[in-house]
């Protein structure tokens, strides 16, 4: 296979390159069509071919999506929700992963089993109970200590963020990463009289950084993509995440394809930017975690 | 993204230094007490969050599954009544079958495509980095945005696909409106969106297959197909389990594509279980029923995960 040194212009290389190009084109076409459509006017969409170039770059759809559509605000909400959720998740998971891998404490195996069970818990199947619990949070949204009747944390940022604050998968992954580091690393520090906290921050976290990035990105991505939970919890447009914004925008502007395509593209730009900057870290992280 | 469920043990070096095994000497014992206190402190935030956000909800859901509850009236216990209603409801079984169909086809075809593309990109070809970026690109588009893009592509009268087909003299296809085609259409969207990520996972796994194994296979006179079956597949088994598990569980929870593109139609043809739960719980306000439905599906996912893990373990040993 790939180890054999072949001639640069072997027929095999050319055939495989053509196949790969064909695959790439298939994956790229929907995005290309969406971008082309977003630059057209509504009448142009129905009179010209979908793969034809627009008459110049017309950004009016983007402008309309951001101003009338309110997508600037939706994007900000999504960044807040996914940002805070994944940040808390990665800090809690890194600490717990370290403890589960490196620090013997009473009840460690019980905690580990809990992590394994929650790992297999599909989040979309918890929405009903989470909804009922969030609605009953004491002293919020008109609730008393035990009496419900109010709305609790429904329709609030804390309620929106709650499900993304932890995931069993993150804890599990961080534990696996810490297990891969040699224990002797800590010994020199212990001899020098460092506390466990100092050891963790000064020695282990820097070594595990590529994995931290992978877990952070996974957490961010899953919170960013979620539609079901914000659909249930956010009832006012000021709290809509970008995914909820997309679905309501679609219902409002049926068949105005340039607008809808522009909304789909605008909603993806932050993720493209994040992957662009995180790409090297992500690749390092994947190589680090490596599926050995 | 390591090989989560497979690496049952720790590396030998770490095992020899297992912190759980007390070393002799007073100094060590003092250190271990410190470790114990630190361990509890370090695990506390995650543990509290897991209990509040995972354990409490699943117990709550179990409780409400034994009640009749509509948000408007207080819940009252009805025993297994909601489960009986659920199991005798043809719509529930229909949504289960449609979800199995979706997940089964997506995972089988998806693994074939993403692994195929990953193997293709490890060959000596022109522009591997470019292809990798392009195939990964749909991953930056959310399910909702991707669904919207494809609603336009699939548009029956003026959408690009049907325009192309009719210019070639073909018939107009109801991609999202005919019951037999709507689910395959949703599968195309999901496959387009998900492949890039799993391709990356497979690429990372393929990069770790030792070159000597290929050389040995080559010396043995193994062709490409035998090399793939006997060298590549066994070497990437942990990655395969990861992909199989995450993709299956993700597909079984499909909601966004159906909600945005078809709302479960036409005639419930694309009604996924999670969409059915959403409709039962938050449109019909049958929260007890929807809780029972969630709990049943949760148990199924749990069993399926355990079967996968076991199956892979026995095949490794």
Tell me the CATH number at B294: 1.10.3720.10
Print the domain residue range for B106. Answer: 81-316
pLDDT in tens, B57-79: 999 999 999 999 887 788 889 99
| Mean predicted lDDT score pLDDT of chain B | 87
Greatest Cα pair distance in chain B: 87
| Mean predicted lDDT score pLDDT of chain A | 86
What distances in angstroms separate CA B35 from CA A98, A233, B25, B42, B93, one per listed residue? 11, 41, 16, 10, 52
Which sign, positive or negative, has the C-alpha torsion A10, A16, A22, A24? negative
Q: How far apart are CA A231 and CA B145, in angstroms?
A: 15
Residue B94 lies in a domain: yes
Q: Which residues of B touch A124 (CB under 8 A)?
A: 253, 255, 274
Count other C-beta atoms under 10 Å from residue A38's C-beta: 25
Which of B112, B160, B142, B134 minimizes the C-alpha distance to A26? B134
Which of B252, B266, B248 minimizes the C-alpha distance to B109? B248
Q: Report the residue from A2, A120, A121 with minimal CB separation from B123.
A: A2
Q: What is the mean pLDDT of residues A62-91?
A: 95
Percent share of chain A, pLDDT over 90:
51
CA distance A186 to chain B (A): 11
CATH topology of domain A65-289: MetI-like fold (1.10.3720)
Which of A71, A54, A258 minimizes the C-alpha distance to B148? A258
Interface contact flag, B2 A292, Cβ < 8 Å: yes
- What is the total residue count of chain B? 317
Low-confidence ranges of chain B (pLDDT < 70): 1-31, 314-317
Tokens of B231: 């060298």
Which sign, positive or negative, has the C-alpha torsion B286, B292, B294, B296? negative
Residue B72 lies in a domain: no
Percent share of chain B, pLDDT over 70:
89
For residue A108, pLDDT beyond 50: yes
The answer to whether A52 faces chain B, any CB pair under 8 Å, is no
Contact B231, B218 (CB under 8 A): no
Residue B67 lies in a domain: no
Count other C-beta atoms under 10 Å from residue A198's C-beta: 12
Which of A173, A168, A137, A165 minimizes the C-alpha distance to A153? A137
Cα B127 to chain centroid distance, Å, stands at 30
pLDDT in tens, A144-203: 776 666 788 889 999 999 999 999 989 998 998 888 887 777 776 666 777 778 888 888
Give SS3 for A76.
helix
The answer to whether the peptide bond before residue B61 is cis (omega within 30 degrees of 0) is no
Exposure letters A156-170 (e unless 16+ CB within 10 A, then b): beebbbbbbbbbbbb
Picking from A52, A74, A124, A263 by the largest number of B CB atoms within 10 A of its own CB, the best residue to mutate is: A124
Position B141 scores a pLDDT of 96
Position B314 scores a pLDDT of 64
Cα A2 to chain centroid distance, Å, stands at 33
Give SS3 for B76.
strand
pLDDT in tens, A238-273: 999 999 999 999 999 988 999 999 999 999 999 999
Q: What is the mean pLDDT of residues A88-95?
A: 96
Pairs of CB atoms within 8 A across A/B:
341
Position A203 scores a pLDDT of 82
CA distance A205 to chain B (A): 13
Helices A71-102 and A205-225: crossing angle in degrees, nearest 10, is 140
Picking from A15, A125, A173, A199 by the largest number of B CB atoms within 10 A of its own CB, the best residue to mutate is: A125
Q: Which long-range contacts (CB under 8 A, 24 or more apart) does A185-192 make?
A: A186/A102, A190/B31
Position B311 scores a pLDDT of 85
Q: How far apart are CA A208 and CA A265, in angstroms?
A: 34
Tokens of A221: 């991505």
H-only helix segments in B154-271 = 160-167, 179-207, 211-219, 224-227, 233-235, 237-252, 256-261
Position B26 scores a pLDDT of 43
Q: How far apart are CA A82 and CA A64, in angstroms?
A: 25
Residue B272 lies in a domain: yes
Domain ranges of chain A: 1-58, 65-289
Please give the tally of structural domains in chain B: 1
Which of B210, B305, B53 minimizes the C-alpha distance to A3? B210
Position A180 scores a pLDDT of 80
Q: How far apart are CA B105 and CA B110, in angstroms?
A: 8
Listed by number, the residues of chain B in 61-80 with a beta carbon closer than 8 Å to a beta carbon of chain A are: 61, 64
pLDDT in tens, B191-231: 999 999 999 889 988 988 888 888 888 888 888 888 888 88
The answer to whether B256 faces chain A, any CB pair under 8 Å, is yes
Contact A112, A172 (CB under 8 A): no
Residue B147 lies in a domain: yes
The answer to whether A19 faces chain B, any CB pair under 8 Å, is yes
Position A42 scores a pLDDT of 82
Q: Which residues of A touch B194 (CB under 8 A)?
A: none
What distances in angstroms separate CA B220 from CA A96, B122, B210, B231, B251, one per listed residue? 47, 22, 16, 12, 40
What distances in angstroms separate CA A163 from CA A34, A133, A197, B299, one per listed residue? 32, 11, 28, 20
């Amino acid at each position: 296979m790939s180890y054999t040194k072949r001639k640069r212009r072997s027929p095999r290389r050319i055939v495989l390159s053509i196949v790969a190009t064909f695959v790439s084109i298939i994956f790229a076409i929907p995005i290309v069509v969406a971008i082309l459509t977003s630059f057209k006017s509504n009448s142009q969409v129905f009179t010209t071919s979908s793969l034809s170039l627009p008459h110049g770059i017309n950004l009016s759809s983007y402008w309309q999506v951001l101003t009338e559509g309110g997508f600037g605000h939706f994007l900000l909400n999504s960044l807040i929700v996914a940002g805070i959720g994944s940040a808390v998740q990665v800090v809690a998971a890194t600490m717990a992963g370290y403890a589960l891998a490196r620090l013997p404490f009473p009840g460690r195996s019980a905690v580990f089993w809990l992590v394994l069970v929650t790992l297999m818990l599909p989040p979309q199947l918890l929405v009903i109970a989470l909804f009922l619990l969030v609605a009953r949070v004491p002293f919020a949204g008109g609730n008393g200590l035990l009496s419900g009747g109010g709305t609790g944390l429904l329709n609030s940022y804390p309620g929106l963020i709650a499900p993304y604050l932890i995931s069993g998968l993150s804890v599990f992954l961080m534990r696996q990463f810490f297990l891969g580091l040699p224990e002797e690393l800590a010994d020199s520090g212990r001899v020098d009289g460092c506390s466990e906290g100092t050891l963790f921050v000064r020695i282990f976290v820097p070594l595990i950084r590529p994995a931290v990035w992978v877990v952070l990105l996974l957490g961010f991505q899953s919170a960013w993509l979620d539609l079901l939970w914000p659909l249930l919890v956010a009832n006012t447009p000021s709290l809509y995440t970008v995914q909820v914004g997309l679905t309501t925008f679609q219902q409002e502007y049926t068949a105005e394809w340039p607008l809808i395509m522009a909304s789909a593209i605008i909603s993806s730009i932050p993720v493209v930017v994040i992957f662009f900057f995180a790409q090297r870290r992500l690749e390092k992280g994947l190589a680090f975690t490596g599926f050995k | 993204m390591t090989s989560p469920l497979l690496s049952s043990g720790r590396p030998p070096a770490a095992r020899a230094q297992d912190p759980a095994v007390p070393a002799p000497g007073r100094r060590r014992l003092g250190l271990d007490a410190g470790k114990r206190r630190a361990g509890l402190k370090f695990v506390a935030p995650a543990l509290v969050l897991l209990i509040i956000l995972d354990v409490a909800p699943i117990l709550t859901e179990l409780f409400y599954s034994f009640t009749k509850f509509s948000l408007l009236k207080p819940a009252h216990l009805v025993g297994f009544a909601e489960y009986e209603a659920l199991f005798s409801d043809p719509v529930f079984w229909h949504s289960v079958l449609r979800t199995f169909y979706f997940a089964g086809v997506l995972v089988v075809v998806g693994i074939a495509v993403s692994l195929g593309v990953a193997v293709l990109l490890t060959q000596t070809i022109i522009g591997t980095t470019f292809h990798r970026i392009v195939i990964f690109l749909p991953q930056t588009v959310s399910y909702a945005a991707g669904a919207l893009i494809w609603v336009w592509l699939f548009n029956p009268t003026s959408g690009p696909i049907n325009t192309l087909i009719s210019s070639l003299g073909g018939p107009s296809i109801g991609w999202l409106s005919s019951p037999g085609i709507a689910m395959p259409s949703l599968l195309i969207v999901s496959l387009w969106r998900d492949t890039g990520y799993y391709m990356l996972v497979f690429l990372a796994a393929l990069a770790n297959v030792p070159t000597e194994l290929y050389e040995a296979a080559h010396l043995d006179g193994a062709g490409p197909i035998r090399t793939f079956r006997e060298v590549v597949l066994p070497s990437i088994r942990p990655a395969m389990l990861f992909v199989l598990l995450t993709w299956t569980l993700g597909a079984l929870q499909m909601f966004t594509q159906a909600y945005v593109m078809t709302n479960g139609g036409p005639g419930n043809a694309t009604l996924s279980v999670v969409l059915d739960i959403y409709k039962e719980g938050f449109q019909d306000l049958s929260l007890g029923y929807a809780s029972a439905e969630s709990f049943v599906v949760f148990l199924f996912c749990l069993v399926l995960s355990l079967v996968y893990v076991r199956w892979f373990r026995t095949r490794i040993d």
